[in-house]
A and B are shown apart, each in its own frame.
Chain A
Amino acid sequence: MNFVDNAFILICAALVMFMTPGLALFYGGLVRSKNVLATIMQSFIMLGLVSVLWAICGYSLAFGTDIGGLIGGLDFVFLNGVGMDNAGSPAENLPHLTFMIFQCMFAVITPALISGAFAERMKFGGFMVFSALWLLLVYAPLCHWVWGGGWMGEMGALDFAGGAVVHMSSGAAALCCCILIGKRKGHGSTAFIPHNLPMTILGAGILWFGWFGFNAGSALAADGIAANAFVTTHMATAAAALSWLVAEWAHGGKATTLGAASGAVAGLVAITPAAGFVTPMWAIVIGFGAGFICYGGIMLKNKLGYDDALDVVGIHGLGGTFGALATGVFATIGAEGLIAGNAEQLWIQFVSVVATWGFSFVMTFIIFKAVDKTIGLKATDEEQDRGMDIAEHSETGYQW
């Protein structure tokens, strides 16, 4: 066990925890004022729901003894055998509890990310059940596949901090959910104007800050890899904030603050799978690409007409996919990508992309249908008119 690493990862876990309220603000500012609390709640309460589920059985399903490369066993349910020493810890330099709580924060934010797709029209009760099932049936297996000794990691797929596990999985789920739940009332005729962009910018800033814990902490040690991941994370994010603005200009518009914030998040997403494997200059290239690609993804949404309210598909789905493939191209540290002469890595990354999208989309479809049929997920037109804050929570965000 290494005390320095332990201190570093505990701090990183706290940083990753802070991303979820940051996401709540990022999303909250983007909706209309009558839905601000319901939207914030769908991120914030994941700190409650997912944390408890993670301790009960989620962690064990992800990191318990491997069963056929598909899922973890039940050895760590109720945190049995997860203690203050490193016994059984996947990271031998860390107390098992440290590793568990660091991973818990990743699990918390992932279902919260999906909530942007069905914002302004999802009932709270159904949402909670959906999220609980999604965590156990989609996140935990995927996490096991990639990091818990499952087939995807064994195959050699590179995912430093969760491009597949967190971003592609939530992006694919978001696409499935926003198609199944249907559009918000008034989509296409009503102006869905963000009610508080300063809140959104603050949220993006908190995400950027917390993401240092997410990516640098994924080195699982206070070492040079962590330093590299820290720097690549920052550089890619900076580059993507710029390139999104360039895309807006080139598209005939003005540079927007929402564009700068969206670009930053796109850069954070895209560098996530690559952070520990690429050099800072390639990170800038990845960031530049992410800004353009995610902006294009959102233009595509406007053309195709599905109502991904807060652009989870465009930013997390596409950004995560681009990042996973870019990792296969630009990896030179501790792994070899295309530019290091290893074309096979790109193929492995491609397989991991297809498997992640396919698995998450199909499982999300089943879970969504099951919850929708039994509990019901979509708010009525009347409830949407009144606003989800009053309809679902009996409170309002602002008193004036």
Chain B
Amino acid sequence: MKKIEIITRTFKLDEVKTALSGIGVKGMTVNEVKGFGRQGGHKEVYRGAEYQVDFVPKIKIDVVVEDDFASEVVAAATKAAQTGQVGDGKIFVSPVDEVVRIRTGETGEEAI
């Protein structure tokens, strides 16, 4: 099983969610996060005092899927979230040892 973390622009949440649901992803977890990469931050000005805000608001979508489904999910998410401008975000894929559905105690892929 793989965990796919998609960090992207906040306004892309609905498009990514729709795309993933469309290919059969059955659940996801969403967080509002802040961070920076190549896009860098931005300047804010309050009564003439300038502040450099380094951490840019992004959305992080976590999905756990079967191993052979992962590449399709990554491709769908990439297509949905891409604008081509700096700041589109990143996708991280990592292995997951175990999943447990708390209600039933099911484990492994059955529990996804």
Do A and B pair up? The answer is: yes
CB nearest to A262 among chain B residues: B47
- Contact residue among A193, A259, A311 (Cβ-Cβ distance under 8 Å from B51): A193
Question: Shortest distance in angstroms between B29's beta carbon and chain A's nearest beta carbon?
Answer: 17
CB nearest to B45 among chain A residues: A253
- Interface membership of B11, Cβ < 8 A: no
- Interface membership of B86, Cβ < 8 A: no
Q: Complex formed: what's the CA distance from A256 to B43 in Å?
A: 13
Partner-contacting stretch, out of A20-28, A68-76, A173-181, A295-303: A295-303
B46 close to A258 (CB less than 8 A):
yes
- Interface membership of A254, Cβ < 8 A: yes
Q: Complex formed: what's the CA distance from A377 to B49 in Å?
A: 27
Question: Shortest distance in angstroms between B49's beta carbon and chain A's nearest beta carbon?
Answer: 6
- Contact residue among A193, A251, A299 (Cβ-Cβ distance under 8 Å from B46): A193
- Interface membership of A191, Cβ < 8 A: yes
B48 close to A299 (CB less than 8 A):
yes
* B44 contact set on A, CB distance < 8 A: 191, 193
- Contact residue among A191, A254, A298 (Cβ-Cβ distance under 8 Å from B47): A298
- Contact residue among B48, B52, B53 (Cβ-Cβ distance under 8 Å from A298): B48
Question: Shortest distance in angstroms between B56's beta carbon and chain A's nearest beta carbon?
Answer: 14
CB nearest to B52 among chain A residues: A191
- Contact residue among A191, A254, A311 (Cβ-Cβ distance under 8 Å from B53): A191
Q: Complex formed: what's the CA distance from A320 to B49 in Å?
A: 23
A259 close to B53 (CB less than 8 A):
no
- Contact residue among B48, B51, B52 (Cβ-Cβ distance under 8 Å from A251): B48
| B window 35-92: CB within 8 A of A | 44-49, 51-53
Please, what's the 1-or-0 string for A134-178, where 1 marks a CB less than 8 Å from any CB in chain B? 000000000000000000000000000000000000000000000
Q: Complex formed: what's the CA distance from A194 to B51 in Å?
A: 11
* A302 contact set on B, CB distance < 8 A: 48-49
* A258 contact set on B, CB distance < 8 A: 46-47
Question: Shortest distance in angstroms between A300's beta carbon and chain B's nearest beta carbon?
Answer: 10
A256 close to B51 (CB less than 8 A):
no
* B52 contact set on A, CB distance < 8 A: 191
- Interface membership of A248, Cβ < 8 A: yes
Number of residues of chain B lying within 8 A (CB) of chain A: 9
A191, A192, A299, A311, most chain B CB atoms within 10 A: A191
Q: Complex formed: what's the CA distance from A192 to B53 in Å?
A: 11
Q: Complex formed: what's the CA distance from A258 to B46 in Å?
A: 7
B44, B47, B51, B52, most chain A CB atoms within 10 A: B47
CB nearest to B50 among chain A residues: A253
Q: Complex formed: what's the CA distance from A174 to B86 in Å?
A: 45
A256 close to B49 (CB less than 8 A):
no
* B46 contact set on A, CB distance < 8 A: 193-194, 256, 258
* A299 contact set on B, CB distance < 8 A: 48
* A193 contact set on B, CB distance < 8 A: 44, 46, 51, 53
Question: Shortest distance in angstroms between A201's beta carbon and chain B's nearest beta carbon?
Answer: 13
* A295 contact set on B, CB distance < 8 A: 48
Please, what's the 1-or-0 string for A214-258, where 1 marks a CB less than 8 Å from any CB in chain B? 000000000000000000000000000000000010010110101
CB nearest to A299 among chain B residues: B48
CB nearest to B54 among chain A residues: A191
Q: Complex formed: what's the CA distance from A192 to B47 in Å?
A: 11
CB nearest to A298 among chain B residues: B47
CB nearest to A244 among chain B residues: B47
* B49 contact set on A, CB distance < 8 A: 192, 302
CB nearest to A247 among chain B residues: B48
CB nearest to A310 among chain B residues: B47
| A window 289-337: CB within 8 A of B | 295, 298-299, 302, 311
Binding site for A on B (CB under 8 A): 44-49, 51-53
Can you spell out 5 A-B residue pairs with CB atoms less than 8 angstroms apart? A194-B46, A248-B48, A254-B45, A258-B46, A258-B47
6 extra A-B contacts, CB within 8 A, seeds A193-B44, A299-B48: A194-B46, A258-B47, A259-B47, A262-B47, A295-B48, A311-B47
